[in-house]
Amino acid sequence: MAILNIIEEGDPLLRKTSRPVEEITPRIITLLDDMIDTMRKADGCGLAAVQVGVLRRICVIETEPGTVYELINPKIIAFSGHQENPEGCLSVPGKASITSRPMYVTVRATNRKGEVYDLTGSELLARCICHEVDHLDGKLFIDEGIHLRPYVEKRKK
């Protein structure tokens, strides 16, 4: 596995719309594995392919240690409720914002085996799904309409 370079705010690639994956190839499987390693190394809970310079509709999420969701061509098919919580991003280091997201989200995606499945998440998982799907559409959490309060510098640990 490889640790990939995470691109940051200001890179024009982050504002592009990612293309669908038409075939799950060994290259896609390697990308998934590398994205998981990269996300974990960066201490994140989600990562979209565009964040590592690949314009494909792929993201990985791990909000609970050991439970990784691989989402290929994800599409949000249902959402409800409302939450306002702090949000950050590996591509916007050192900043956080209070965002407005659904409390519950259902996403339809394909896994690495080519199986289509639905994933329903609440709270952090719902926020993560929305955040990563936004990346695939060229949006960042700091964009107008997503954040409720302007982003602020995160405290140093």
**Is residue 94 exposed (0-12), middle (13-18) or buried (19+ Cβ within 10 Å)?**
exposed
Contact 54, 64 (CB under 8 A): no
Given the structure tokens 């960042």, which residue do they identify? 140
Contact 41, 126 (CB under 8 A): no
Kindly state the tokens that stand for 92.
């916007």
Helix or strand (DSSP H, E) at 58: strand 58-64
- Annotated catalytic residues are 132
